[in-house]
């Protein structure tokens, strides 16, 4: 095309259409629409921002409440431990009395053929129980009959009073005799109170009134001519770097399986606000409305195991037969067993925590839509590769009895492993100035992996619900 022709065609169209008025069909109707929209415009709200901000604020506040309650509860637990120590001491004293009673009864048995033999309680933590081998086989058989008619002392029942009771798996063996209804009801009541107190401490604060974000819309003068609008097809790719930090609340699912002791099977689900913190850096690639990002994230996760089992412990205050309640101590938590004529009671209590660290490689996609001139929002989804490693802390051991032990080394029960998480959420971007923008990202993460070893009696799954707030820098094109 020649230069002359080029200008001809340009001029032809320019002259024809530059200031050409065209009559609008249904002009009055158009004005009506404009007038109505002007009225309703002020009522319009960018409610997505409020929703994201509200969720974020609620998570922060619930976490603060949780942490303050947690400190309070730990103080209470410490008091309880002190009380339990004294209770344990009382029981030990009682035990010594029982021992002397037993010895007297044994002595009496030797003298009398009609007296029945007693069976010592089985110490399973440090030493094997010693039984009186002189017991006749028939009497031994009788020893497994559940005949005990003893009642619990009040001090034994006091062990169950803990504020952090959660799901209650009744351990009472229905076949056990001698358990008084009164003591059982009292225990159950204590647990219910503890459970209610715990649930109340976890409840979220009332919804705060949403704080409207005042954004002054860009004036039209600013739109001319440097405003970037998404036009027909955005051929330009936008590269960005995002630094973000966030908090998560953890939904913790615990399964305890012990095939050797079916009564230990239980299931608990815990919700822990703000049990996870993370920091990340990510590279983003955006073309049009599609965004892709990949990055690195460090996450600190606190998984807490809390299990409270209770069953009736029996303390027989009879000369024949007799039972013993033996305690190892209250710190670290104890597992103890009282056995009387084959009836078995188990009591495990105490809480502890196992912590882990993760290095995460998140890969996510999102579709962003523009709302106004400075705000984008859209759904996002992706996967996270989780390099998980265990951390120092207390661990749960299983050597015939289940107990917590201090372990300054990494837990032998946690895996250093590779896991996969799925994530889904909402991504919001608000332009601040130039290449800088603020990003908000409420997200839910579903964790497939249980990072405890296969031979361990606890299965733990955790899922995260929380949000990240970050600063994004759009890398300018050269």
Partner 1 sequence: MVGADKSIYHLTNSYLFSIAVRYTMDEHLAMDVLQESYIKIFDSLKQFIYKSEAATFQWMKQICINESLKLIHKNKRKYQIESGVRFSNTVFNNHDLHVQDLYRILSQLPDQQRVVFNLYAIEGYAHKEISQLLEIKEVYSRTLLARARKFLNKNISKLNYVAS
Residue 5 interacts with partner 1 (CB under 8 A)?
yes
**Distance spanning both ends of the chain, measured CA to CA:** 33
String marking each residue 134-153 x if it binds partner 1 according to CB under 8 A: --------------------
What is d(CA 394, CA 458) in angstroms, rounded to the nearest whole number? 14
Q: Which is nearer to partner 1, 155 or 437 (CB)?
A: 437
Rounded to the nearest whole angstrom, what is the least distance from the CB of residue 368 to partner 1 in the complex?
A: 14
97 belongs to the binding site for partner 1 (CB under 8 A): no
Residue 15 vs 86, nearer CB to partner 1? 15
71 contributes a contact to partner 1 by CB under 8 A:
no
Burial class (CB in 10 A: 0-12, 13-18, 19+), 257: middle
Q: Which residues contact 146 (CB under 8 A, 6 or more apart)?
A: 175, 176, 177, 178, 341, 342, 343
Determine the interface stretch with partner 1 among 15-23, 74-82, 109-117, 176-184 (rule: CB under 8 A). 15-23
Near partner 1 by CB under 8 A: residue from 137, 207, 214, 231: 231
Q: Is 229 in the site for partner 1 (CB under 8 A)?
A: yes
Q: Segment near partner 1 (CB under 8 A), from 26-34, 137-145, 359-367, 404-412?
A: 26-34
* Binding positions for partner 1, 236-255, rule CB under 8 A: 236
Nearest to 451 by CA among 443, 442, 460: 460
Nearest Cα neighbor of 452 from 416, 399, 428 is: 416
- Is residue 290 within the footprint of partner 1 (CB under 8 A)? no
d(CA 146, CA 323): 12
Name the residue among 465, 463, 444 with its Cα closest to residue 58. 465
Residue 434 lies near partner 1 (rule: CB under 8 A): no
Subset of 164-223 contacting partner 1 (CB under 8 A): 217, 219-221, 223
Give the residue among 154, 457, 167, 119 at the shortest CA–CA distance from 318.
119
Dist. CA 410–CA 86, nearest whole Å: 33
Q: Which stretch of DSSP H or E encloses residue 471?
A: strand 458-475
- Number of residues lying near partner 1 (CB under 8 A): 48
- Residues with Cβ within 8 Å of residue 38, at least 6 apart in sequence: none
**Residue 222 vs residues 5, 12, 125, 226: alpha-carbon distances, Å:** 37, 32, 78, 7
3, 18, 43, 44: which one binds partner 1 (CB under 8 A): 18
The smaller minimum CB distance to partner 1, of residues 399 and 477, is found at 477
Nearest distance in Å: CB 46, partner 1: 16
Minimum Å gap between C-beta 365 and partner 1 is 21
The minimum distance between CB 230 and partner 1, in angstroms, equals 5
Pick from 23, 133, 399, 408: which binds partner 1 (CB under 8 A)? 23
Q: According to the binding rule CB under 8 A, does residue 260 interact with partner 1? A: no
- The contacts of residue 340 (CB under 8 Å, 6+ apart) are 119, 121, 148, 150, 314, 316, 321, 322, 323
Quote the radius of gyration of the chain (alpha carbons, Å): 34
Q: Is 433 in the site for partner 1 (CB under 8 A)?
A: no
Element (H, E) at 252: strand 237-256
Query: Should residue 39 be labelled a site residue for partner 1 when binding is judged by CB under 8 A?
Result: no
Question: Binding to partner 1 by residue 28, rule CB under 8 A?
Answer: no
Q: Does 25 bind partner 1 (CB under 8 A)?
A: yes
CB of residue 289 to partner 1, shortest distance in Å: 10
* Contact between 323 and 315 (Cβ < 8 Å): yes
Buried b (16+ CB within 10 A) or exposed e, 157-184: bbbbbbbbbbebbebebeebebbeeebb
Is 232 a binding residue for partner 1 by CB under 8 A? The answer is: yes
Pairing of strands 309-310, 169-170: parallel
- Residue from 17, 114, 209, 260 touching partner 1 (CB under 8 A): that is 17
- The answer to the question of residue 15 lying near partner 1 (CB under 8 A) is yes
Residues found near partner 1 in the complex (CB under 8 A):
1, 5-6, 8-10, 12-27, 30-31, 33-35, 37-38, 41, 217, 219-221, 223-236
């Amino acid at each position: 095309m020649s230069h002359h022709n080029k200008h001809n065609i340009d001029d032809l169209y320019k002259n024809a259409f530059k200031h050409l008025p065209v009559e609008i069909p249904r002009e009055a109707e158009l004005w009506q629409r404009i007038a109505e929209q002007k009225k309703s415009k002020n009522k319009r709200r960018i409610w997505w921002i409020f929703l994201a901000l509200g969720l974020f604020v609620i998570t922060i506040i619930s976490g603060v409440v949780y942490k303050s309650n947690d400190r309070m509860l730990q103080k209470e637990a410490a008091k309880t431990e002190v009380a339990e120590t004294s209770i344990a001491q009382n029981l030990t004293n009682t035990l010594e009395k029982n021992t002397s009673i037993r010895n007297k009864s044994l002595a009496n048995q030797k003298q009398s053929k009609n007296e029945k033999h007693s069976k010592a309680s089985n110490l399973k933590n440090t030493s094997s129980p010693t039984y009186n081998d002189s017991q006749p086989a028939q009497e031994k058989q009788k020893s497994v009959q559940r005949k005990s008619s003893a009642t619990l002392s009040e001090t034994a029942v006091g062990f169950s009073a803990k504020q952090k009771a959660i799901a209650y798996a009744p351990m009472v063996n229905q076949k056990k005799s001698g358990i008084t209804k009164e003591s059982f009801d009292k225990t159950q009541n204590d647990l219910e109170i503890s459970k209610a107190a715990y649930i109340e401490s976890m409840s979220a604060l009332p919804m705060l009134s949403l704080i409207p974000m005042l954004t002054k819309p860009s004036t039209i003068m600013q739109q001319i001519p440097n405003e970037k609008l998404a036009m027909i097809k955005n051929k330009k790719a936008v590269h960005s770097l995002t630094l973000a930090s966030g908090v998560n609340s953890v939904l913790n699912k615990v399964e305890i399986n012990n095939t050797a002791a079916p009564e230990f099977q239980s299931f608990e689900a815990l919700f822990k606000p703000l049990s996870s913190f993370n920091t990340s850096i990510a590279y983003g690639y955006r073309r049009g409305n599609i965004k892709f990002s990949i990055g690195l994230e460090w996450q600190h996760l606190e998984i807490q195991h809390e299990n409270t089992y209770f069953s009736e412990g029996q303390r027989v205050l009879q000369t024949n037969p007799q039972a013993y309640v033996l305690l190892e101590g209250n710190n670290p938590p104890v597992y103890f067993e009282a056995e009387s004529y084959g009836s078995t009671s188990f009591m495990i209590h105490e809480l502890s925590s196992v912590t882990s660290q993760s290095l995460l490689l998140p890969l996510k996609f999102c579709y962003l839509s523009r709302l106004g001139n400075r705000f984008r929002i859209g759904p996002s989804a992706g996967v996270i590769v989780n390099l998980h490693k265990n951390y120092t802390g207390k661990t749960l051991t299983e050597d015939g009895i289940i107990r917590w032990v201090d372990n300054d080394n990494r837990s032998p029960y946690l895996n250093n492993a590779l896991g996969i998480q799925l994530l889904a959420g909402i991504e919001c971007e608000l332009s601040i100035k130039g290449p800088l923008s603020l990003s908000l990202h409420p997200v839910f993460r579903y964790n497939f992996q249980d990072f405890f070893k296969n031979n361990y009696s606890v299965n733990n799954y955790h899922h995260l619900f929380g949000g990240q707030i970050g600063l994004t820098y759009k890398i300018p094109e050269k």
